[in-house]
Amino acid sequence: MDKVGKYEFLAEPFHCDFNGRLFIGHLGNHMLNAADFHSTARGFGMKYLMTIKRSWVLSRLAIEMIEMPTQYTKFTVETWVESAMRYFTSRNFRVVGHEPTGNGNESTPKVYGYGRSIWAMIDTESRQPTDIFSIDNGAINDWIEKDKECPIDKGGRVKMDDQAELVCTIDTYYNDIDINGHVNSVKYIEHVLDLWDLAWYKEHQIKRFEIAYVAEAHQGDQLSFYRTASGDSEYCVRICKEGDVETCRSKVTFFD
């Protein structure tokens, strides 16, 4: 079995925005599914971990796109483990399609973009990080691929001060909650991107989206979204639940 997993998806029309391009939230969901398919096939996926009261939890995600797949386009998400430490592992993604060359059935690879992620493994009862290498005698080390390129920035701490504007506060419901019992990672992405209206997206396309998860939120929690401009076409967002407890931070960069 190859160290790099390759999984085909379709940009379904109802997963695309008004421009006919895949929502970045759905792309993020495909990346997370690819990560699960890859880890499950190699013996350290969620299906097995749940039997021993363990689970993967996404800590950071960065997606940087050249362009988004259009509706009905088939594309492949490649994923591989770049490194592993006791409590965290780094996993990368490449999103590729194929362009006809005009010469019969021949085509050339087309790179849509890349992703970087960091994951922690937690004990589902204590909710605390647990030793990744304790799973199957550290079998994850057998699947590390250091030579495959992922040319996008790893990202860093999203810096914000107390001057950020409160844009909105929302309630959380059944559809926000995932298998781990907390607000789904992709739901945060969707809520952040809803801070800009349709008129904005008629003039701007997302170049890069990154998010760092700090604390869990659960059904019934109210989430408050604070936003500040941090550069040309770049915005930082802080999400807090009641008591001003920060749940995550995000940075969104749009094409100029």
Pairing of strands 107-123, 54-65: antiparallel
Alpha-carbon distance of 86 to 175, in angstroms, equals 32
Residue 81 burial (CB count, 10 A):
25
Alpha-carbon distance of 51 to 10, in angstroms, equals 31
DSSP collapsed to 3 states, 114-173 = EEEEEEEEEECCCCCECCHHHHHHCHHHHHECCCCCCCCCCCCCCCCCCCCEEEEEEECC
Helix (H) or strand (E) holding 209: strand 206-213
Q: Are 65 and 207 in contact (CB under 8 A)?
A: yes
Amino acid 170: pLDDT: 98
Amino acid 248: pLDDT: 96
Residues of the chain with pLDDT under 70: 100-102
Alpha-carbon distance of 189 to 66, in angstroms, equals 19
Closest residue by Cα to residue 178 from 32, 77, 14:
32
**Residue 10 carries which side chain, given as an amino acid letter?**
L
Alpha-carbon distance of 100 to 214, in angstroms, equals 43
Q: Are 3 and 80 in contact (CB under 8 A)?
A: yes
Q: What is the pTM assigned to this prediction?
A: 0.94
Alpha-carbon distance of 197 to 141, in angstroms, equals 44
Residue 25 burial (CB count, 10 A):
23
**Residue 122 carries which side chain, given as an amino acid letter?**
I
Alpha-carbon distance of 90 to 43, in angstroms, equals 17
Alpha-carbon distance of 107 to 73, in angstroms, equals 14
